[in-house]
Structure 1
Amino acid sequence: MAHPDRTPLLPLEKRRRGIYILPNLFTTAALFAGFYAIVQAMNQRFEVAAVAIFVAMVLDGLDGRIARLTHTQSEFGAEYDSLSDMVSFGAAPALVMYEWALQDLGKLGWIAAFIYCAGAALRLARFNTNIDVVDKRYFQGLPSPAAAALIAGMVWVGIDNGFTGDELRGYACALTIFAGVSMVSNVLFWSGKSINLRKSVPFIVVIALVLVFALVSSYPPGILFGLFLVYAASGYVMWLLRWKRKHDRGEATPAPQPDSTVPPAAGDDTAPPPRS
């Protein structure tokens, strides 16, 4: 029997509020791909694990786009996406790289993996808190999917060329630390959010996209790894160019000259003596 005098635990509008299935379906698929990468790394199938991380990256890019296009954004979806990203682009790449190349380095190996994992967590937390105050055209710090692509790309390229993790462990350690530190840096990286998918484009753009897909399909491990290496370096190159431009502008500004028409202050030793 219902008691009309009792206050419900949740307001009626919140109890009726559902969860949008379409974008969260893609987020769940990305989460599964990240978890699958961890499982495959534990089974020493590192190439499959690297591919799974790239699949998670594609799915993660789709869920946000679909939510915006279908107007199904929600706070639940944003929080769920962050948790999925932490698994797919934080824990999974760190564990895959550790199992493949870093475990024989001892303390240095797991410290490098932890730097990457902590960098991903801090990057996601900062992104969630600064989402309304930063310039939408740029990311502050290397995005976690791009950092994960660096790690997975190196594993994939190394295995495809017949290298073992032990042979590349020095490079793997340096790249892992670089990716982790880059995620929490203040370097700006182009976000691509200024691209309007609903806007018409010249025919040459479609041809360029076809050529890009053809290039990637010719050698996926090397091309993808190279593209994300260039993207990771682009932020630092642009930062150096901005710093140099600011430095040159500061040198070009002449120093202010003292005004000879202003009378000297009282007690100034440089003042001329009074005429008699």
Structure 2
Amino acid sequence: MRIPLKLISGLAQISLLVVLAVIIWQLLHSPTNIPPDVYPYLNTISPSLVKQCVQENQKSPHIAYEDLLAIHSTIPKNEAQMLIDQLQDNITMSDLNWGMLPADTIKAIGRHREILREYSYYHPNKYTFPVAGTTWYEDSYGADREGGARRHEGTDLFGKEGTSIISSCGGKIEQLGWNRLGGERVGVRGDDGNYYYYAHLQYISPKLVKGERIEAGEFIGGMGHTGDALTTPDHLHFGIELPNGEWTNPYPFLAVWHMWEREEKS
């Protein structure tokens, strides 16, 4: 039986469209490439150093905050001051006299400057601390859970049941309601592309709607112990999932955001 040419041509066109659709889908859903040096570097920066650089920037506004933090976080204080003095004299980063600093160190400062410009977690008033009330927390990221079956992929912030939980950033509500581990939880796709996870809530604000926008500081719900936290003290499990699907330690960011909150109240 001879197959008509029109049918063959039609099938070929359909196959081509299917292949193109698969390629486009893969491109749209492929993990975002995040350089491996970004979060290890950001996690080394202390709140006190961030505060120091912000204060220096306020005294010398012509020196970029990112330049100050990149220098101070990379080299010792005495070496850093030599560069800061030049910046205060209105010498640009590209024209600095680096003295005896090794080429690798100079390159590291430049790279750290790029990271700080692209990732604004430490900028004042950019993000909001998620607990609007008394809380205590420590760095428990990576700790064993379920007898070592999995690792803790967030920070637990403890407080009184019902303590207000607020959104750390603006974004879109992607998840809302119950799951086995998180209990009553809210998931927000931040404007920065990260997924912010708020779990073990006592209740969720009835004003929240899946798919709609939420702003930084907007009320999410009350602190609780739902899900697998049923037998633990009331707390918020706060997690940050990067666009490539990896979870990162939120503790260093929380410590800085908490510092900004206390600064505003003092």
Q: Same fold (TM over 0.5)?
A: no
More strand by share: 2
From the CA coordinates, give the structure whose radius of gyration is larger: 1
More helix by share: 1
- TM-score when normalising by structure 1: 0.20
- TM-score when normalising by structure 2: 0.20
